[in-house]
Amino acid sequence: MDNTNSANNTLPSNRIREAMAAITAGRQNPEADVPCPVCGHPGLQVEDHSARPHAEWYALSCSSCGLDDTLHIPMGSRPGSFS
């Protein structure tokens, strides 16, 4: 996998889809060694910092490539939720 942003420890924008798949895989099987979306090595650490129902927010880290970033997924509002 391309490791172009490892120097600044951020998730490259072209790896967001892989990061979301890794988060889903980790939620479905918390004991699994999930591969890092940047370097592909198993052992991605995912911490759920979500503020549901407003957003899903995950801290992602990888000891292999140094990834240390967050992924914020805004959730839509429901009609009348702001009244």
| Tokens 């702001």, residue located | 82
In this structure, are residues 56 and 75 in contact, taking their beta carbons and an 8 Å threshold?
yes
pLDDT for 22:
95
State which amino acid sits at residue 66: G
Q: Which residue has the higher pLDDT, 57 or 81?
A: 57
- pLDDT of 14-41, one tens digit each? 999 999 999 999 999 989 999 999 999 9
Q: E strands along 25-77, which residues?
A: 45-48, 55-61, 68-74
DSSP 12: P
Question: Across residues 54-60, what is the average pLDDT?
Answer: 91
Q: What is the rounded CA–CA span in Å between residue 67 and residue 82?
A: 36
Strand ranges across the sheet with 55-61: 45-48, 55-61, 68-74
